[in-house]
Amino acid sequence: MSFKLTTKQKALVFGVPVGVLLVSMVAYGVWGNAALLVPPVGIGAFLAYLIVETRHYNLGLFVRQTTESRDHYRQVEAILGLTWAIDPSVPLPPSRGWAASPDLLREVYRNVLEEPPTLVVEASSGTSTLVIAYALHRLGKGHVIALEHDASYAERTRNHVIRHGLEGWATVVHAPLVMQQVDGKQMQWYDIRGVEFPAPIDLLVVDGPPDTVQPMARYPAVPLLRSRFGQSTRVILDDGSREDERRTAERWAEHFHGTKEFLQLEKGAWLLRFGSGRSPEVKP
């Protein structure tokens, strides 16, 4: 394994000795033999600095590793509990990374069971689609419609749904991202013109589109689906720790008269609640 010095390390390794030498030469011209104390004092101070920096680095590394280990444990605990609860017929697809984290999946599963929905709409698809479908299957009622802009990923999720025997509980719709009017602006979001919603939306889970599409990429979800909300609709917004998602949740709550709650999950999430689906006048 090759080892390369960083710019800061090069500056310290080569700059400090040269600096001490130059200072010593100047000091010798002023103080004479007394300047012989400058090199050991300078090098000693530098070594003391390195010791303190190393200690701070090791302490920071220990704290980071401890935090990561604790987070990993929580995710393992979440996926084990979730797997035990849903008892899948075949293993679930991987989670974390681009996919929803286990603690979010557990939160969505709990949310569905505690307040049974007739219709769940999901902005994106994947493991979360299966988890929602398993929850609805356990309840014996309800359906989830997952909107997916990537055709190949939509097909992959459909295959997972079939493999788990959940065709009666989940529908994956290929809905490409298209420009739409949102609060007087043009923004990209899922094309839902051909999507049939058999009932008012009781639960909306927003985990797409990707944040690389545009600033506040997930904001259009509520403005474009608000008229389809039921008398009491919940919205779960993933990646709540990101600035765009925080601003999105705040604007949703303010513009559409909802309440919001931050969920302390691995990536953070927002749980919002809205009343009647009649759209109020949107603020500019």
pLDDT band at 69 (very low <50, low <70, confident <90, very high): low
Mean pLDDT across 54-63: 74
Specify if 188 maps to a domain. Answer: yes
Domain containing residue 170: CATH number: 3.40.50.150
Same domain, 135 and 254: yes
Mean pLDDT across 246-259: 96
Specify if 153 maps to a domain. Answer: yes
Structure confidence at residue 145 (pLDDT): 98
What are φ and ψ of residue 47, in 5° steps? -65, -40
pLDDT tens, residue by residue, 37-48: 777 777 777 777
pLDDT band at 279 (very low <50, low <70, confident <90, very high): very low
pLDDT tens, residue by residue, 215-240: 999 999 999 999 999 999 999 999 99
Residues 6+ apart with CB under 8 A from 116: 139, 141, 142
Same domain, 137 and 251: yes
Specify if 82 maps to a domain. Answer: no
What's the whole-number average pLDDT of the chain?
A: 86
Mean pLDDT across 200-223: 96
Specify if 83 maps to a domain. Answer: no
Q: Which of 38, 68, 98 is the last residue of a domain?
A: 68
Same domain, 23 and 105: no
Same domain, 109 and 246: yes
Specify if 218 maps to a domain. Answer: yes
Any long-range contacts for 81-86 (C-beta under 8 Å, 24+ apart)? 81/106, 82/106, 82/109, 82/131, 85/109, 86/131, 86/134, 86/135, 86/138
pLDDT reading at 70 higher than 90:
no
Other C-beta atoms closer than 10 Å to the C-beta of 174 total: 19
More confident residue, 79 or 3: 79
What percent of the chain is helix, strand and coil (3-state, nearest 5)?
50, 20, 30
Return the SS3 of 142.
coil
Structure confidence at residue 167 (pLDDT): 96
Specify if 281 maps to a domain. Answer: no
Same domain, 152 and 269: yes
Same domain, 108 and 210: yes
Structure confidence at residue 103 (pLDDT): 92
Same domain, 13 and 115: no
pLDDT tens, residue by residue, 106-122: 999 999 999 999 999 99
Specify if 15 maps to a domain. Answer: yes
Cβ atoms of 154 and 148 within 8 Å: the answer is: yes
Structure confidence at residue 81 (pLDDT): 83
pLDDT reading at 56 higher than 60:
yes
pLDDT reading at 97 higher than 60:
no
pLDDT band at 13 (very low <50, low <70, confident <90, very high): low
pLDDT band at 2 (very low <50, low <70, confident <90, very high): low
Same domain, 126 and 242: yes
Specify if 74 maps to a domain. Answer: no
Same domain, 49 and 97: no
Same domain, 151 and 265: yes
Same domain, 138 and 230: yes
The predicted model scores a pTM of 0.75
Q: What is the distance between the alpha carbons of residues 87 and 67, in angstroms, rounded to a whole number?
A: 30
Mean pLDDT across 128-150: 97
Same domain, 15 and 125: no
Structure confidence at residue 275 (pLDDT): 84
Structure confidence at residue 189 (pLDDT): 98
Domain containing 20 equals 7-68
Structure confidence at residue 127 (pLDDT): 94
Residues 6+ apart with CB under 8 A from 106: 78, 79, 81, 82
Number of domains in the chain: 2
Q: Where are the alpha helices (DSSP H) in 115-241?
A: 127-139, 151-163, 221-225
